[in-house]
């Protein structure tokens, strides 16, 4: 059990792209992406707060983005019902994929970034083969009864969280769809690194830890306020702490086992909803999005290490 150290603000970046809808790390956490309501995606260096590139081409707010495993491509989802596959270095949209009947809420890459998975307001999860030039989705899963809020994947499974209160696990290996009904609309879903559990942020201001194998409810984390926002949650790289945003401008770090609040990170005194966050894939570092700003938080130790 690793010791918990308090997080401190490291960098604050004014993204200057309207409200920041989502913040994401790239695969190794050296860069980060911010999706703005001004239809643009920006690539940053979170350590220095340096803007590296801006990707413009969407016709509506960008809701989610993900970087490929080699960090050479970005896939982004937008409310304009399309998914764009970007070339990181040139900043040009390589492919624009349209099949969703509603705004696309979330997008992710599979492990080798050959498949992009997207979920949208049309209750559909779509798998896109982005290696080929095919513009139709490889597979469409329309089992969900409400808007898909998050898609996640690992080696052999696709997870889709929906506002209908279910987490659907599409097991490709077994050829089986497992629907775990939580009963509360799920606003965000994160996988633990050991892929044993899922962290589901629910609409009723509770983050729930679900067991992948049995579908049981392992733990509940209360303390933050969700209200009606799509508050995201995440799990830190040590797999011991769960972090979630809150509608009152704070972020909460919970202990995974005990479920108690370890730290209430005061991100801003001016309120504003901390709705999006990203956890660093390796370090104890987090990104938060609040209003127009992006915040980088990390433990002191990490900074020292960096500096050393």
Q: Among residues 37, 54, 71, 139, which is the contact residue for other proteins, using CB under 8 A?
A: 139
- Spatial separation of the C-alpha atoms in residues 134 and 130, rounded to whole Å: 7
Give me the least distance between CB of 296 and other proteins, in Å please. Answer: 33
Does residue 215 touch other proteins according to CB under 8 A?
A: yes
Give the residue among 204, 174, 172, 202 at the shortest CA–CA distance from 189.
Answer: 202
- The Cα–Cα gap between 224 and 51 comes to 31
In the DSSP assignment, the letter for residue 72 is S
The stretch near other proteins (CB under 8 A) out of 16-24, 169-177, 239-247, 295-303 is: 169-177
Applying CB under 8 A, among 156, 227, 257, 305 the residue interacting with other proteins is 156
Q: How far is the CB of 215 from other proteins (least distance, A)?
A: 4
Put residue 94 in one of left, alpha, beta given phi > 0 → left and psi -120 to 50 → alpha.
Answer: alpha
Contact between 229 and other proteins by CB under 8 A: the answer reads no
| Contacts (CB under 8 A) with other proteins, residues 261-300 | none
CB 278 within 8 A of CB 286: yes
Query: 247 and 227 in contact (C-beta within 8 Å)?
Result: yes
Does residue 223 touch other proteins according to CB under 8 A? no
Q: C-beta of 35: minimal distance to other proteins in Å?
A: 25
Strand order in the sheet with 73-78: 62-67, 73-78, 82-87, 93-98
Q: Is there binding between residue 173 and other proteins (CB under 8 A)?
A: yes
The b-or-e profile of 154-176 (16+ CB within 10 A means b, else e) is eeebbbbbbbbbbbbbbeeeeee
**Nearer to other proteins (CB atom), residue 210 or residue 294:** 210
Helix (H) / strand (E) element for 302: namely helix 300-307
248 belongs to the binding site for other proteins (CB under 8 A): no
Build a one-symbol-per-residue string for 188-207: x at contacts with other proteins by CB under 8 A, - elsewhere: ----------------xx--
69-108 mask for other proteins (x: CB under 8 A)? Answer: ------------------------------x-x-------
Q: If binding is defined by CB under 8 A, does position 216 make contact with other proteins?
A: yes
Q: What is the token pair recorded at 136? A: 């139709």
| Residues found near other proteins in the complex (CB under 8 A) | 99, 101, 110, 112, 114-115, 122-124, 127, 129, 131, 136-143, 145-146, 155-156, 164, 170-184, 204-205, 208, 210, 214-217, 220
């Amino acid at each position: 059990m690793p010791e918990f150290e308090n997080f401190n603000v490291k960098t604050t970046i004014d993204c200057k792209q309207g409200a920041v809808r989502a913040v994401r790390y790239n695969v190794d956490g050296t860069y980060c992406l911010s999706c703005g309501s001004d239809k643009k995606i920006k690539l940053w260096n979170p350590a220095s707060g340096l803007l590296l590139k801006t990707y413009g081409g969407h016709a509506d707010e960008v809701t989610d983005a993900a970087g490929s495993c080699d960090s050479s491509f970005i896939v982004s989802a937008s409310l304009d019902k399309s998914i764009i596959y970007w070339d990181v270095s040139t900043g040009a949209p390589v492919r624009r994929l349209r099949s969703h009947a509603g705004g696309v809420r979330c997008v992710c890459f599979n492990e080798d970034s050959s498949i992009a998975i997207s979920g949208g307001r049309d209750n559909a999860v779509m798998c896109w083969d982005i290696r080929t030039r095919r513009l139709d989705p490889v597979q469409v899963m329309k089992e969900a009864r409400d808007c898909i809020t998050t898609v996640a994947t690992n080696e052999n499974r696709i997870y889709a969280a929906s506002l209908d209160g279910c987490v659907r696990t599409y097991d490709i290996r077994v050829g089986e769809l497992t629907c775990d009904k939580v009963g509360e609309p799920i606003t965000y879903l994160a996988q633990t690194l050991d892929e044993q559990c899922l962290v589901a942020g629910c609409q009723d201001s509770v983050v729930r830890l679900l067991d992948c194998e049995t579908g049981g409810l392992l733990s509940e984390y209360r303390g933050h306020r969700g209200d009606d926002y799509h508050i995201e949650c995440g799990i830190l790289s040590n797999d011991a702490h769960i972090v979630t945003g809150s509608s009152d401008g704070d972020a909460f770090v919970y202990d995974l086992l005990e479920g108690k609040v370890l730290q209430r990170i005061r991100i801003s005194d001016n309120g504003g909803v901390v709705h999006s966050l990203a956890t660093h894939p390796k370090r104890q570092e987090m990104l938060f999005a609040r209003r127009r700003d992006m915040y980088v938080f990390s433990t002191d130790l990490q900074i020292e290490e960096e500096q050393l």
